[in-house]
């Protein structure tokens, strides 16, 4: 269903300034998921083999969009397959992605 | 024993809504993961056959990686009785693989049309148990809105089981579901197609591609845009403040309005005068008459307190709460505040039981089952028991304080909030371990269905009448008898050192302290009749706030945790209440 969903995602939201994420267009090579800015799209490269993560739609090769980086050190929220999932930063750090446009 | 039909599926796909539709029961439903925390069973009548429909808490897989998944696997293997004994810790835990006689007759599997892949992954695992399955393809209205079209016929052929499109919240497709379910329950085995091959994501994705097409010309709905806005820190955090403010305004405003302009006038004009006349005419003046219509008149206060002072807030609170629950705002709140909750050893999802606690502590304590760690459960439960006033008590505070001093009223609620945070900080410091990292799905924002919402409020009102108003009326009857027989002053004398010397309250104030054990608001309402100074009001209200949660809550604690915790909460709340009350009095006296 991956192809179906890419088209579903609406135009990129404006990047939100949080001070510690890579800016749009600067993602090159593999980075960890928690460094994406809101609005950026990426594809999952490597991640832990975790049943719950897989069930929530996070699997290798999946494309996603960063929706929000919560304040106070809270989780990041990503959209996969039209559904939103909140991931604690410590989990997001274990997932490496490459930026896509 | 009736044959069992299991209701299974991912979390938050509408299983409980379907359960309620099919059984006519009213189990709790809401738009967040983990609403159903216990197995409920209801009678499902199909034609002339009776089945027991069991609402199994939702899981993402059957890999037995958490308690809910273990329970689901157990039920599939050997029926509900063994799984139940396992959840209460009494099962022998052996012999899972033997086919037991109460193996389910059929499974009603709810597929979330907006989340086909994950649903099918779980379904494929369920199909391996070779039990007849009927698929309810639920929320197809939402998937169409998102731009998907799922071919139910094609899906049925791919799976080898019947597929019925449904929209549970409106009741669409429920009739078809019953018909197909009856046919399937007569069958003896499950799908012939899927049973043997291993379940992999590749296989699931292939099936999805074959049954799902994209509808062109779709644009993001306004609901989806709001859903995003409420999830991002900007403008989500300021909106969160605004929404909580609005909820408070609705709860207090609608509650006060109902009380002041509807219920009190009706009771005082149409009900009480004839009642008093009747008693005056039939019962001679004296002890009994005083008990019925005197100062604590059980016929007067026993009706006015539960139905005119507390009921309005039950109605307004559960309207507001149901909107929050069914819209899917609660998980957004949890995610926005997760970082702050982390600092006191909790996760954002802890806010759901906390908010339920402002209604009643019992559902709040049950809802803590959805929290992942024992530490989180204990912290949230203690916060609710020590410092969160239930809606009945809140109604009583408003009745007692709003006319006398808004400042004191706000101070009482602020005191509760500060104490709640203090409890969390202290417990977090003394209990080892950090909460596991947050990993949760944020459901779509939905517009609550008026009929589902009204039903929830109605269930709450009914529960209040049976479980709340009755103990309250009994409490008032006890108070009336104590007062009129002079036992109350004896009791007051006994408690004098504590009530009068330490708390600076009149001797009569011993009564609410006794009644408060029965119901939280009864620790407050008798103070209304006592002509207290503002400082005394604050002391009395603060003591009531921290005082013993009602007896039903203590019983729930013992059942959900153990006697030790129940006794500890009892001691902490009692000692804490008197300590805080005495301190407030002394600080107040210094300042004035």
Query: A29: phi > 0 → left, psi -120 to 50 → alpha, else beta; which?
Result: left
Q: How confident is the model at residue B467 (pLDDT cuts 50, 70, 90)?
A: confident
Tell if the CB–CB gap between B342 and A38 is shorter than 8 Å: no
- Per-residue pLDDT averaged across B143-154, rounded? 89
The answer to whether residue A79 scores a pLDDT higher than 60 is: yes
The answer to whether residue A5 scores a pLDDT higher than 50 is: no
- Per-residue pLDDT averaged across B34-54, rounded? 87
Residue A2 vs residues A58, A95, B21, B137, B168: alpha-carbon distances, Å = 12, 19, 34, 21, 28
Tell if the CB–CB gap between B339 and A51 is shorter than 8 Å: no
Q: What is the rounded distance in angstroms from the CA atom of residue B356 to the CA atom of residue B438? A: 21
Mutate to test the interface with B, among A15, A34, A52 (most CBs of B within 10 A): A52
The answer to whether residue A1 scores a pLDDT higher than 50 is: no
Q: What is the rounded distance in angstroms from the CA atom of residue B493 to the CA atom of residue B543? A: 19
Contact (CB, 8 A) for B514 and B499: no
Q: What pLDDT is recorded for position B405?
A: 87
Q: What pLDDT is recorded for position B533?
A: 93
Q: What is the rounded distance in angstroms from the CA atom of residue B50 to the CA atom of residue B185? A: 11
Q: What pLDDT is recorded for position B140?
A: 87
User: Could you report the per-residue pLDDT of B421-430, keeping only the tens digit for each?
Assistant: 999 999 999 9
Contact (CB, 8 A) for B541 and B405: no
Q: What pLDDT is recorded for position B292?
A: 87
Q: How confident is the model at residue B81 (pLDDT cuts 50, 70, 90)?
A: low
Edge-to-edge order in the sheet of strand A41-46: A30-32, A96-100, A41-46, A63-69, A76-80, A83-87, B439-442
Contact (CB, 8 A) for A2 and A17: no
Q: What is the rounded distance in angstroms from the CA atom of residue B26 to the CA atom of residue B17? A: 9
Q: Which residues is A41 bridged to in the sheet?
A: A65, A100
Q: What is the rounded distance in angstroms from the CA atom of residue A13 to the CA atom of residue A28? A: 20
Window A:49-88, CB contacts with B under 8 Å: 51-57, 59, 67-75, 77, 81-88
Q: Tell me phi and psi for residue B98, to 5 degrees.
A: -70, 140
* Sign of the dihedral defined by the CA atoms of residues B510, B511, B516, B518, in that order: positive
Intra-chain end-to-end CA distance of chain B, in Å = 70
Q: What pLDDT is recorded for position B284?
A: 86
Q: What pLDDT is recorded for position B404?
A: 87
Contacts of B547 (CB under 8 A, 6+ apart): B513, B516, B520, B523, B573, B574, B577
Contact (CB, 8 A) for A73 and A18: no
Q: Minimal Cα–Cα distance from B554 to chain A, Å?
A: 34
Q: What is the rounded distance in angstroms from the CA atom of residue B163 to the CA atom of residue B276? A: 63
User: Could you report the per-residue pLDDT of B321-340, keeping only the tens digit for each?
Assistant: 999 999 999 999 999 999 99
Q: What pLDDT is recorded for position B479?
A: 85
Residues of B in contact with A89 (CB under 8 A): 437
Contact (CB, 8 A) for B572 and B387: no
Q: How confident is the model at residue A12 (pLDDT cuts 50, 70, 90)?
A: very low
Q: What pLDDT is recorded for position B487?
A: 85
* Residue (of B389, B392, B394) closest to B417 by Cα position: B389
User: Could you report the per-residue pLDDT of B495-518, keeping only the tens digit for each?
Assistant: 899 999 999 999 889 889 888 988
Q: What pLDDT is recorded for position B529?
A: 85
Residue B567 vs residues B228, B361, B547: alpha-carbon distances, Å = 45, 16, 13
* Residue (of B420, B255, B489, B236) closest to B338 by Cα position: B236
Q: What is the rounded distance in angstroms from the CA atom of residue B333 to the CA atom of residue B247? A: 13
Q: Which residues is A100 bridged to in the sheet?
A: A41
Q: What is the rounded distance in angstroms from the CA atom of residue B332 to the CA atom of residue B350? A: 12
Residue B574 vs residues A39, B27, B42, B308, B581: alpha-carbon distances, Å = 52, 34, 40, 29, 11
3-state secondary structure of B47: coil
* Residue (of B470, B69, B86) closest to B306 by Cα position: B470
Q: Tell me phi and psi for residue B168, to 5 degrees.
A: -60, -40
Q: What pLDDT is recorded for position B28?
A: 85
User: Could you report the per-residue pLDDT of B87-113, keeping only the tens digit for each?
Assistant: 433 333 333 333 445 788 899 999 999
Q: How confident is the model at residue B192 (pLDDT cuts 50, 70, 90)?
A: low
Nearest CA in chain B to A76: B335
**For residue A63, what is the enclosing H or E element?**
strand A63-69
Domains and CATH numbers, chain A: 2-100 (2.30.30.90)
Q: What is the rounded distance in angstroms from the CA atom of residue B251 to the CA atom of residue B256? A: 8
Residues of B in contact with A93 (CB under 8 A): none
Q: What is the rounded distance in angstroms from the CA atom of residue B352 to the CA atom of residue B428? A: 19
The answer to whether residue B493 scores a pLDDT higher than 90 is: no
Pairing of strands B212-214, B133-138: unpaired
> Concatenated DSSP letters for B517-528?
TT-GGGGTGGGG
Output B94 or B255, whichever has higher pLDDT.
B255
The answer to whether residue B350 scores a pLDDT higher than 60 is: yes
* Residue (of B138, B125, B131) closest to B107 by Cα position: B131
Residue B580 C-beta-side C-alpha neighbours within 13 Å: 23
For the CA atoms of chain B, what is the radius of gyration?
Answer: 27
Tell if the CB–CB gap between B205 and A1 is shorter than 8 Å: yes
Residue B247 C-beta-side C-alpha neighbours within 13 Å: 20
Residues of A in contact with B206 (CB under 8 A): none
User: Could you report the per-residue pLDDT of A26-37, keeping only the tens digit for each?
Assistant: 556 889 999 999
Residues of A in contact with B231 (CB under 8 A): 67-68, 77, 84
Q: Minimal Cα–Cα distance from B35 to chain A, Å?
A: 17
The answer to whether residue A70 scores a pLDDT higher than 50 is: yes
Q: Does A23 touch chain B (CB under 8 A)?
A: no
Provide the whole-model pTM. 0.88
Q: What is the rounded distance in angstroms from the CA atom of residue B588 to the CA atom of residue A73? A: 40
Mean pLDDT over the full length of chain B? 88
Q: What pLDDT is recorded for position B35?
A: 84
* Sign of the dihedral defined by the CA atoms of residues B254, B259, B262, B263, in that order: positive
Give percent above pLDDT 70 in chain B. Answer: 94
The answer to whether residue A3 scores a pLDDT higher than 70 is: no
* Residue (of B96, B488, B464, B87) closest to B310 by Cα position: B464
Across B123-127, B144-148, B355-359, least confident range = B144-148
- Per-residue pLDDT averaged across B117-140, rounded? 93
Q: What pLDDT is recorded for position B87?
A: 44
Q: What pLDDT is recorded for position B39?
A: 83
Q: How confident is the model at residue B77 (pLDDT cuts 50, 70, 90)?
A: confident
Q: What pLDDT is recorded for position B70?
A: 84
Tell if the CB–CB gap between B338 and A59 is shorter than 8 Å: no
Domains and CATH numbers, chain B: 3-214 (3.40.50.300), 233-433+453-591 (no CATH)
Output A52 or A18, whichever has higher pLDDT.
A52
User: Could you report the per-residue pLDDT of B175-185, keeping only the tens digit for each?
Assistant: 999 999 988 88
Across B69-78, B360-369, B410-419, B504-513, least confident range = B69-78
3-state secondary structure of B394: helix
User: Could you report the per-residue pLDDT of B212-241, keeping only the tens digit for each?
Assistant: 998 775 677 888 899 999 999 999 999 999
Tell if the CB–CB gap between B118 and A10 is shorter than 8 Å: no
Read off the tokens for A25: 């267009």
Q: Which of A7, A55, A91 is nearest residue B118 as measured by Cβ atoms?
A: A55
Q: What pLDDT is recorded for position A25?
A: 54
Residue B525 C-beta-side C-alpha neighbours within 13 Å: 28
Q: What pLDDT is recorded for position B90?
A: 34
The answer to whether residue B58 scores a pLDDT higher than 80 is: yes
Angle subtended at Cα B82 by Cα B80 and Cα B85, rounded to the nearest 5 degrees = 105
Q: What pLDDT is recorded for position A6?
A: 38
Q: What pLDDT is recorded for position B191?
A: 61
The answer to whether residue B315 scores a pLDDT higher than 70 is: yes
Q: What is the rounded distance in angstroms from the CA atom of residue B244 to the CA atom of residue B397? A: 19
Nearest CA in chain A to B221: A10
Q: What pLDDT is recorded for position B539?
A: 96
């Amino acid at each position: 269903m991956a192809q179906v969903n890419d088209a579903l995602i609406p135009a990129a939201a404006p990047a939100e300034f949080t001070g510690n994420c890579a800016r749009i267009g600067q993602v090159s090579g593999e980075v960890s998921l928690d460094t994406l800015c809101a609005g950026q799209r990426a594809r999952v490269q490597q991640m832990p083999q975790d049943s719950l993560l897989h069930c929530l739609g996070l699997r290798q090769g999946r494309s996603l969009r960063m929706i929000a980086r919560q304040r106070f050190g809270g989780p990041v929220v990503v959209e996969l397959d039209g559904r939103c999932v909140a991931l604690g930063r410590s989990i997001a750090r274990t997932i490496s992605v490459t930026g896509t446009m | 024993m009736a044959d069992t039909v299991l209701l299974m599926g991912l979390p938050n796909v509408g299983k409980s809504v379907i359960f309620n539709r099919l059984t006519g029961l009213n189990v709790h439903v809401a738009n967040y993961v983990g609403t159903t925390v216990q197995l409920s069973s209801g009678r499902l009548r199909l034609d002339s056959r009776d089945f027991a429909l069991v609402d199994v808490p939702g899981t993402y897989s059957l890999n037995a990686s958490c308690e809910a998944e273990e329970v689901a696997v157990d039920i599939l293997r050997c029926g509900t009785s063994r799984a139940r004994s396992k959840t209460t810790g009494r099962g022998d835990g052996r012999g899972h693989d033997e086919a037991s006689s109460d193996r389910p007759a059929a499974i009603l599997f709810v597929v979330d049309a907006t989340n086909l892949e994950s649903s099918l992954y779980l379904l494929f695992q369920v199909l391996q148990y070779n039990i007849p399955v009927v698929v309810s393809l639920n929320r197809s209205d939402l998937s169409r809105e998102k731009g998907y079209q799922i071919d139910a016929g094609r899906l049925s052929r791919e799976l080898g089981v019947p597929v019925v499109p449904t929209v549970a919240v409106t009741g669409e497709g429920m009739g078809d579901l019953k018909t197909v379910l009856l046919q399937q329950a007569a069958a003896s085995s499950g799908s012939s197609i899927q049973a043997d091959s291993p379940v992999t994501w590749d296989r699931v994705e292939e099936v999805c591609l074959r049954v799902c097409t994209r509808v062109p010309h779709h644009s993001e709905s306004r609901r989806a845009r709001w859903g995003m806005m409420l999830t991002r820190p900007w403008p989500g955090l300021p909106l969160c403040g605004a929404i909580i403010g609005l909820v408070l305004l609705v709860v207090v405003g609608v509650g006060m309005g109902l009380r002041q302009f509807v219920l009190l006038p009706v009771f005082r004009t149409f009900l009480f005068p004839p009642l008093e006349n009747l008693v005056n005419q039939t019962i001679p003046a004296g002890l009994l008459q005083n008990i019925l219509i005197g100062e604590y008149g059980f016929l007067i206060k026993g009706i006015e307190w539960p139905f005119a002072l507390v009921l309005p807030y039950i109605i307004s609170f559960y309207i507001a709460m149901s909107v929050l629950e069914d819209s899917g705002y609660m998980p957004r709140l949890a995610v926005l505040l997760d970082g702050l909750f982390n600092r006191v050893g909790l996760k954002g999802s802890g806010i759901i039981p906390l908010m339920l606690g402002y209604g009643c502590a019992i559902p709040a304590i049950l809802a803590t089952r959805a929290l992942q760690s024992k530490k989180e459960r204990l912290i949230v439960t203690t916060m609710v028991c020590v410092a969160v006033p239930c809606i009945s008590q809140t109604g009583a505070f408003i009745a007692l304080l709003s006319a006398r001093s808004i400042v004191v009223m706000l101070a009482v609620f602020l005191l509760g909030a500060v104490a709640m945070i203090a409890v969390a900080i202290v417990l977090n410091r003394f209990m080892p371990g950090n909460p596991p990292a947050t990993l949760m799905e944020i459901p779509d924002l939905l517009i609550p269905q008026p009929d589902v919402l009204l039903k929830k409020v109605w269930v709450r009102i009914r529960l209040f009448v049976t479980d709340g108003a009755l103990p309250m009326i009994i409490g008032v009857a006890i108070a009336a008898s104590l007062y009129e027989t002079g036992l109350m002053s004896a009791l007051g004398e006994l408690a004098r050192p504590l009530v009068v010397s330490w708390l600076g309250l009149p001797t009569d104030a011993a009564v609410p302290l006794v009644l408060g054990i029965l119901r939280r608001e009864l620790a407050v309402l008798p103070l209304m009749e006592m002509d207290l100074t503002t400082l005394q009001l604050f002391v009395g209200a603060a003591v009531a706030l921290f005082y013993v949660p009602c007896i039903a809550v203590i019983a729930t604690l013992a059942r959900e945790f153990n006697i030790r915790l129940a006794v500890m909460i009892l001691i902490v709340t009692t000692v804490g209440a008197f300590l805080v009350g005495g301190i407030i009095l002394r600080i107040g006296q210094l300042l004035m």
